[in-house]
A and B are shown apart, each in its own frame.
Chain A
């Protein structure tokens, strides 16, 4: 084998060349992707580069059918679809969406909506009264998800292209119903054609939606549907709202592209937000919020949320069937400490099961934390030395706020001689165990800690689902009180007709719960979003009636 000698200088030259090349590559790889290196300089004729906002979601998207979706996809439905009205529960005001105005008859049985002229669906089809009717009728006919909100509706009429008349079976606040975050969206009737279906209730239509198609009229079109990872939306330039100068639900500097990225971990959301990988986070570890508030590059926005944590008491299982024992427990819960420790202060001590900020909430229904009063009540009930049985408390495993709350309740009840055993269960197990309580209260848990949040924004959803004995699914305190039932049944029909009277009845009903203590409302959650400082209007883009939504159309991302 001949061996070719290579001079040392030659080797040095090659080595130098390799170092230079590696250096150049490393420079490109390590230097942040500056826009000037990747896009040509903008001359006056080229349009400005599109603006993108990335919003991190804690949970994956569920289904994409606007009629039946009743879960996480509420996060984007209001960007792509529009209902007749939007509702702002903090000011108790309605904002017109596809309906420009509406009126109701004296008795609350006939509601007439005028449909906006000039609104079009993303497929170009104009929005008409017929589309409204067919959308809502499909939702009712399918009867899934939150379709029950339309229960009062007897018939829908369309006297002309831009008028819809709802006739009701019983009086109800149809404006609030039409503004619900679920099941109230209007879509193009042409979906039947696109799906190759025979009619709107054909399962093919649902399949068409769920494979990532949409036919809404909202400010954004969906351009990518990858529900486990990301969903992407692009501005719909023909949206009527962009053209209305004073419309409150839009901004002239709204993002061109809005992306929801699924990042299920609070710490990761925080990391990505700090490093610029996302723009808005839904959740970061609460312990760090104070520190982020001081960071000039970030903003933190707080809003009341209509999600609250409640401890349901098994009122049929001794000794909890004794109202004095229940009252003793209610006075032995350290509400303030729970809010401070469990939620790092990001909650309000509950006052009744209807959360703070909602119409129908009253401020004087909080139990006082008073251990001596609690002991006195226990003595009156016949348990001067405490209860000789371990009481079982269940909560949904994995939720740290529930876990911390449960620990504090256990520690505090121990001081009045009530021993609690905490059992974290998966939601299925927890619910299955609780369901058995309707047949045999003694096999079920004693306390069940869980969250409630509204469908239609009304006190009724809280009071009916958890305390009316016709609601076997979620009335997991097994509470039966005909007087209470009658009060809320009447109140809900008066909501659209006589608000003052409805409010009175709701108060009476909540006062009954306060005296009977079938449940101990613990705290009302305060919601937060944390974002880059440069994004304006974030506060306006969050509305507790539409949980987890960031209304991208009102964000201002700079000119």
Chain B
């Protein structure tokens, strides 16, 4: 991986960030006729409106406004939610770990289940198990995530009562055991505090939403690893290995798998954006207090500054993840030399 490639990608990232900021600036400050009304919220007093005008520098030329906008952004002053009067950046940073915990768990499930499933399917190519897996993964990749979420919640959570139908952790347990979030990743926090009941409870709460969220990347990785595996097994080098009498196990796991895993991981990474969108709906359905839930609640009460905050954060995050995935891809695959 060349240094130029990394530098080029980093510069591109800066360009994307500036682009996002300029677009949000135009949406929030130029398009609305009276931005201060949106900023201060409904039923705002005369004084609040005046303060909003000052805060947004609305009486100055547009380029000065843009300057202050960027300055505020980099200083971490992302505005105040008019619902709660709390700084938006704080809210977002509290919500972010919850989303990450969910999405990371979903991706772990997707790769730990999806890839072996695909390989198993490829090895039994054409058999019944392969057919079943193929049908299921096609379904999994095409069913809308919110629908699956609602069905799981109703059937497993409400009717069968096997798993909690929502939330991150049981309120009563948190109170009784005195659990306090530290990092915001509850699985980690409960381990740090040696709090076994909360740890188990957090797992109980995360499994269903994480599984629902993983269905799409799981199906994707399973389908990809299946077709790649079939392809690789027909390659000449694999045949040669078999002819030389190398045990099948070693052929599979030492030689074939490496060529399957790299592109699968790359495509998994690229499906991150899609999964993040899915997370918004899964969070809303399972009352998971992450970014998606926060965004949904902000939308429901027209909390303008908060919505823009979410947009910026997600855009930043998305471009960062894409960068990381590309770098990992380049590192894993020696052929990628850009």
| Chain A nearest CB, measured from B241 CB (Å) | 14
A426, closest chain B residue (CB): B302
Question: Given A3-B247, A29-B200, A59-B301: A275 and B84 within 8 A (CB)?
Answer: no
Given contacts A50-B175, A52-B175, A268-B287, contact A228 B200 (CB under 8 A): no
Contact of A29 with B297 in the complex, beta carbons under 8 Å: no
10 A-B pairs with least C-beta separation: A275-B165, A38-B197, A227-B84, A275-B158, A274-B158, A275-B157, A52-B172, A428-B42, A60-B83, A271-B165
In the bound assembly, the distance between CA atoms of A276 and B164 in angstroms comes to 8
Given A259-B171, A275-B164, 10 other A-B contacts at CB below 8 A?
A32-B161, A33-B200, A39-B176, A50-B175, A50-B176, A61-B84, A264-B296, A268-B284, A268-B287, A271-B154
Q: Is B86 an interface residue (CB 8 A)?
A: yes
Give which listed residue, A54, A271, A275, contacts B171 with CB less than 8 A.
Answer: A54
Which A residues lie within 8 Å of B200 (CB)? 28-29, 33
Interface positions, chain A 228-270, Cβ under 8 Å from B, are 228-230, 232, 257, 259, 261-265, 268
CB-defined contacts of B316 to chain A, threshold 8 Å:
none
- For the complex, what is the distance from the CA of A259 to the CA of B173, rounded to whole Å? 13
CB atoms of A277 and B166 under 8 A apart: yes
> Of A32, A62, A230, A272, which one neighbours B84 at CB under 8 angstroms?
A62
A 539-551 to B, binary, CB cutoff 8 A, 1 in contact else 0: 0000000000000
Name the A residues within 8 Å of B272 (CB-CB). none
The residues of A that contact B301 with a CB separation of less than 8 Å are 59-60, 264
B283 to chain A, nearest CB (A): 11
Among the listed B42, B167, B204, B289, which residue makes an inter-chain contact with A30, where contact means beta carbons less than 8 Å apart? Answer: B204
Residues in A with CB closer than 8 Å to B37 are 428
Closest CB of chain B to A474's CB: distance in Å? 11
Chain B neighbourhood of A275, CB < 8 A: 157-158, 161, 164-166
B83 proximity list for chain A (CB < 8 A): 60, 62, 227-228
17 examples of A-B residue contacts, CB within 8 angstroms:
A29-B203, A29-B204, A30-B163, A32-B161, A49-B176, A50-B176, A52-B172, A52-B175, A228-B84, A228-B91, A271-B158, A271-B166, A274-B158, A275-B165, A275-B166, A277-B164, A428-B42
Given A3-B247, A277-B166, residue A29 in contact with residue B207 (CB < 8 A): yes
Q: Mark B286-324, 1 if CB is under 8 A from A, else 0.
A: 010100001011001110000000000000000000000
- Interfacial chain A residues near B242, Cβ < 8 Å: none
A60 in contact with B247 (CB, 8 Å): no
- Closest Cβ–Cβ distance, residue A19 to chain B (whole Å): 16
Please list the residues of chain B having a beta carbon within 8 angstroms of any beta carbon in chain A: 37, 42, 45, 81, 83-86, 91, 153-154, 157-158, 161-167, 170-173, 175-176, 197, 200-201, 203-204, 207, 247, 250, 284-285, 287, 289, 294, 296-297, 300-302
Cβ contacts under 8 Å, B153 to chain A? 271
Which residue of the partner chain, among A30, A210, A229, A261, contacts B85 with CB atoms under 8 Å? A210
A63 on interface, CB distance cutoff 8 Å: yes
Question: Given known contacts A38-B197, A60-B301, A271-B157, is B287 in contact with A257 (CB within 8 Å)?
Answer: no
Chain B positions within 8 Å of A302 at CB level: none
Taking CB atoms, residues of chain A closer than 8 Å to B85 are 63, 210
Q: Which residues of A contact B (CB under 8 A)?
A: 3, 28-30, 32-33, 37-39, 49-50, 52, 54, 59-63, 144, 210, 227-230, 232, 257, 259, 261-265, 268, 271-272, 274-277, 426-428, 431
Taking CB as reference atom, which chain A residue is nearest B200? A28
In the complex, which of the residues B154, B207, B250, B297 contacts A60, with contact meaning CB atoms closer than 8 Å?
B297
Residues of B within 8 A of A3 (CB): 247, 250
A272 and B42 form a contact (CB under 8 A): no
Contacts of A50 in B (CB 8 A): 175-176
Q: Nearest chain B CB to A440's CB is how many angstroms away?
A: 19
- Selected from B42, B171, B203, B207, the residue in CB contact (under 8 A) with A261 is B171
User: Which residue of B158, B170, B201, B289 is within 8 Å of A229 (Cβ)?
Assistant: B289
Q: Is the interface of B mostly helix, strand, loop or mixed?
A: helix
CA distance in complex: A30, B208 (Å): 11
The answer for the CA separation of A227 and B207 in the assembled complex, in Å, is 27
Query: Shortest beta-carbon distance, B251 to chain A, in Å?
Result: 13
Bound-complex Cα distance A61 to B201 (A): 27
CA–CA, A33 to B176, complex, Å?
A: 13
Return B76 CB to nearest CB of chain A, in Å.
18
Q: Which residue in B81, B162, B284 is a CB contact (below 8 Å) of A265?
A: B284
Please, which residues of chain A bring their CB within 8 A of the CB of B204? 29-30, 33
A86–B197 Cα distance when bound, in Å, is 42
Min Cβ gap A112→B in Å is 35
Specify which chain B residues have a CB less than 8 angstroms from the CB of A37 in the assembled complex: 197
- Distance of B99 from chain A, by nearest CB (Å): 14
B207, closest chain A residue (CB) = A29
Chain B: minimal CB distance from A73 (Å): 10
| Cα distance A59–B45 in the bound complex, in angstroms | 21
Q: Which residues of A contact B164 (CB under 8 A)?
A: 275, 277
- Does the CB pair B154–A33 fall under 8 Å? no
Which residues on B sit within 8 Å (CB–CB) of A227? Answer: 83-84, 86
**For residue A71, which residue of chain B has the nearest CB?**
B43
Among residues of A, the one whose C-beta sits closest to the C-beta of B38 is: A428
Q: Which of A32, A33, A264, A274 contacts B297 (CB 8 A)?
A: A264
Q: Which chain A residue lies CB-closest to B170?
A: A33
Contacts of B294 in A (CB 8 A): 228
Nearest Cβ on chain A to B170's Cβ, whole angstroms:
6
Least CB distance from A433 to B in Å reads: 13
Most buried by B among A63, A228, A262, A427: A228
Q: Which residues of A contact B197 (CB under 8 A)?
A: 33, 37-38
Of B153, B171, B176, B204, which is in contact with the most chain A CB atoms at under 10 Å from its CB? B171
A244 to chain B, nearest CB (A): 27
A426, B164: Cα distance in complex, Å: 36
Question: Please, how many angstroms separate the alpha-carbon atoms of A52 and B176 in the complex?
Answer: 10
Query: Which residues of chain A have C-beta atoms less than 8 A from B289's C-beta?
Result: 229
Question: What residue of chain A has the Cβ atom nearest to residue B161's Cβ?
Answer: A275
Looking at the assembled complex, report how far the CB atom of B214 sits from the nearest CB atom of chain A, in whole angstroms: 16
Shortest distance between the CB of B34 and any CB in chain A (Å) = 9
- The residue of chain B having its C-beta at the shortest distance from the C-beta of A262 within the complex is B297
